Structure 1
């Protein structure tokens, strides 16, 4: 039993609701491990949890991604041992902490060549890109030479997607909110970039595809890009809505999909991480592309745990690039 620093909220709200508290952390039970954190990943889903877009039982911790060292292993856990370097992207929330006890099924050992900072920066974002580009694909799948549209291409998920898509031979059109962010996406492998704040991204996508549109749109922005994203799709195209950074998408009329016989899905990472086997298989593919140097994990921001309010304000303002970390 030890007292650990934990970021907690008593109610949903702005960044100020997050407070550092001392919490007793005990021994792991069956199927659990206790991890001493080195780094905690910052993700936009943390904003949704803190603000109440995705309701949590109160009071609550925050954070879904971290890396560190296994301190203790509960009964029935065979894939991890004390002293292992590990990382995870997992429910339940509570990664913003110096240490925690958690289910072992979504915790994986890090390969020797991947640092703890990279591990915390890549798990949730990298596994998201894995299930998007490898599992959430349009009718007939994706082949080398196909074109996809990826919004927020200069964010943590987006920069990984730019690189992984290039590795797969896909032509990724990326959108971002400034010329600097567009250039960053281009440097990481985007075939074309569009500054959506000063350009009509739907019109530009049609220009880049000679009027055909794209086979799939990966959209984490939400309300602001919804209508334009649908307009970018080719016949039988797939609309993948996986986030709400600009607000929740309003109720959708099925008739809006009928003009081009479009497909629509709202996937969630944690459905793909339901078992240890599926988690390990996805992580192995992520580790492979990172270890090869095919995908680099850019870390744009580092904050102390006590600076978590500032970290959330900058993330929410969408002024960050790449991945952000809380350094323990």
Structure 2
């Protein structure tokens, strides 16, 4: 058995409940991972509060985490039991000791990236990438003013933009 934070009704933080849960064996294309760290994000609060609709009640919140692969389903290539991995994507369920996750949504962690850092930066880093490389290609001829430079996305975006040669 494993444990997870579950939400049976939307509301404030008092609706979060620590419960014993079972984790199935991974199906084809899935892995079972044991979390070593999870990310906490505003989107998690939105799901818990009911601002964003959850797929169903009860649910386990969380979209971002890091951990170690404990078992692997069929048709999974590129991962081994014991690999350190991270993710920032659906399905919900990061607020758990262990969980199933589609292997295609995982990235292997290099040895020099701590699990806590990986779990805290994946979603924010992808957002910064989206803003600086997809929405607008920041570079040496770019001047950027970020009004939220003290938050997670803002800190990463400022550092990344500076690395790209932009004036921040």
TM-score tier, shorter chain, comes to over 0.9
- Distance, in Å, in 2 between the alignment partners of 1:149 and 1:103 is 37
1:159 equivalent in structure 2: 155
Corresponding residue for residue 8 of structure 1: 6
The 3-state SS of whatever aligns with 1:34 is strand
TM-score (ref. length: structure 1): 0.49
Please give the root-mean-square deviation of Cα atoms over the aligned residues, in Å.
1.2
Rounded to whole Å, the distance in 2 between the matches of 1:10 and 1:32 is: 26
Structure 2 length-normalised TM: 0.94
- Indicate the residue corresponding to 1:61 in structure 2: 60
CA distance in 1, matches of 2:15, 2:52: 16
Note the C-alpha offset of 1:88. 0.7
Task: Flag the 1:61–1:151 CA change in 2: closer, same or farther, 3 A.
Answer: farther
Structure 1 gap ranges (5+): 173-328
8 Å CA contact 2:35, 2:65 repeated in 1: yes
In structure 2, the partner of 1:94 is: 93
SS at match of 2:104: coil
Q: Distance in 2 between matches of 1:69 and 1:79?
A: 14
CA deviation map 1:40-62 (0-9, x unaligned): 11111111111111110211110
Q: CA deviation at 1:129?
A: 1.0
User: How many pairs does the alignment contain?
Assistant: 167
Quote how far apart the aligned CAs of 1:28 are.
Answer: 0.4
Contact 2:31 2:102 in 1 (8 A): yes
Larger Rg: 1
Q: 122, 144, 154: which one pairs with 1:148? A: 144
Provide the C-alpha distance between the structure 2 equivalents of 1:143 and 1:87, rounded to a whole number of angstroms: 28
Residues 233-244 of structure 1 mapped to structure 2, 5 A cutoff = none
Q: Structure 2 matches for 1:65-84, cutoff 5 A? A: 65-84=64-83
Maintained 8 Å contact 2:84/2:108: yes
1:50 aligns with 2:12: no
CA distance in 2, matches of 1:149, 1:133: 12
- Tell me what 1:129 maps to: 128
Provide the C-alpha distance between the structure 2 equivalents of 1:4 and 1:128, rounded to a whole number of angstroms: 31
1:38 corresponds, among 27, 36, 39, to 36
Q: Report the Cα distance in structure 2 between the residues aligned to 1:142 and 1:28, rounded to whole angstroms.
A: 41
RCO higher in structure (CA 8 A, sep ≥6): 2
Relative distance call for 1:38 and 1:132 in structure 2 (3 A) is same
* Deviation of the 1:142 alpha carbon: 3.3
1:4 positional shift = 1.0
What's the counterpart of residue 294 of structure 1? none
Whole-angstrom distance in 1 between the partners of 2:106 and 2:166: 30
- Report the Cα distance in structure 1 between the residues aligned to 2:147 and 2:10, rounded to whole angstroms: 27
Paired position in structure 2 for 1:23: 21
Aligned counterparts of 2:31 and 2:154: Cα–Cα separation in 1: 31
